[in-house]
Structure 1
Amino acid sequence: MAVKKSISALEDHAGYWLRYVSNHVSHAFSRKVEACGVTVAEWVLLREMLNAGAANPSQLAEAVGMTRGTVSKLMQRLCHKKLVARSTTDGDQRYQTVELTAAGKRLVPVLAKLADENDREFFSHLKADERTSLISLLRDIVRRQGWKDLPVD
């Protein structure tokens, strides 16, 4: 008679629950920012640009952990939406600086408020120390894994 090995259930894994929660939190936030005309990836870049001020796309790519190609595509879309402006130094097209337009600077706080609301929607039931512990545990996992890229999808 063959002995059946016990096979763990999906629900036995922390990763299952992280993905379950992440999918719902991320999807809700995505819907919110898309209602304002941007994607989550664009939001991440816009938020970083608020801190960085005028910067070159390579610096931004490094800061948010995206490829230069991805940042370039996002910049094209954000320029088309008039949220970002590009400029060149002495007409040299190889070196570009990008920065938020006035419209971009007005939009970032609106999107940040949506991020805050999304957090409240999903995590306000936690006590302050529980929320702090959760964030601390997740940051520790990120640090131990050496992850640098920002979650955008």
Structure 2
Amino acid sequence: MPPASDLTAHTGYWLRMVSNAVSQDFARKVADEGVTVAEWSFMRALYDADAMAPSALAEKMGMTKGAISKLADRLLGKGLITRADNPGDKRAHTLSLTGAGRSKVPILAALADKNDAEYFGILPTEEREMLHRLLRTLADRRGLKTIPVD
């Protein structure tokens, strides 16, 4: 029987360790603003659009329509998005940020920037840029498109 490799011999181990810490700290920060990471990602995806059909949002985020519907219901309940009927198609509707939702996005983005700075600011600029390039390259070559929300 071949020997079993040590956990710490795996790149995935180190990625998961760092990712878990970064994600958990960020989740706590956005929770203080009354949203989850998934809700923040949803809101940020809507931020650059006036209104978007749920199906287009699902495609943009790499999520199912059902997942988008659940997130939309939660954000509607919090008054951060609105749902409007499509006058040309009674079965269709669009989603958009409310004024409160639109004003919250830059606050949440600043928290994301702060979280990144806390974790990755300890690296020299060239190492931070290299890490970013390597991770993007891995995501691109593996065809990873889904916006991480967990």
Q: Same fold (TM over 0.5)?
A: yes
> 1:142 is paired with a residue of what secondary structure?
helix
Give the match for residue 12 of structure 2: 15
**Residue 57 of structure 1: which of 50, 54, 59 is its match?**
54
Query: Which deviations, in whole Å up to 9, do the C-alpha atoms of 1:102-145 show, x marking residues without a partner?
Result: 00011000000000000011011111111110010001110111
- 2:91 is aligned to 94
Equivalent residue in structure 1 for 2:141, among 140, 144, 147: 144
Give the equivalent residue in structure 2 for 1:79. 76
Equivalent residue of 1:49, what SS? Answer: helix
TM-score where L is the length of structure 1: 0.94
The structure having more radius of gyration, on CA atoms, is 1
Q: State the 4+ residue runs in structure 1 displaced beyond 4 angstroms.
A: none
Alpha-carbon distance in structure 2 between the residues aligned to 1:145 and 1:85: 35
Spell out, residue by residue over 1:64-107, the C-alpha distance to the aligned partner (whole angstroms, 9 max, x if none): 11110000111111111110011002385421011000000110
Structure 2's unaligned 5+ residue stretches are none
- The CA RMSD over aligned residues, in Å, is 1.2
Distance 1:77 1:93, change over 3 A: farther
The one-letter code matched in structure 1 to 2:26 is: F
**What amino acid sits opposite 1:111 in the alignment?**
L
For residue 45 of structure 1, what is the aligned residue in structure 2?
Answer: 42
| Structure 1 residue matching 2:24: 3-state secondary structure | helix
> 1:52 is paired with a residue of what secondary structure?
coil
Give 1:121's aligned residue.
118
Deviations 1:38-88, CA, capped at 9 Å, x for gaps:
010000010010012211111011001111000011111111111001100
- How many residue pairs get matched? 150
Letter in 1 for 2:50: G
Which segments of 5 or more consecutive residues in structure 1 lack a partner in the other structure? none
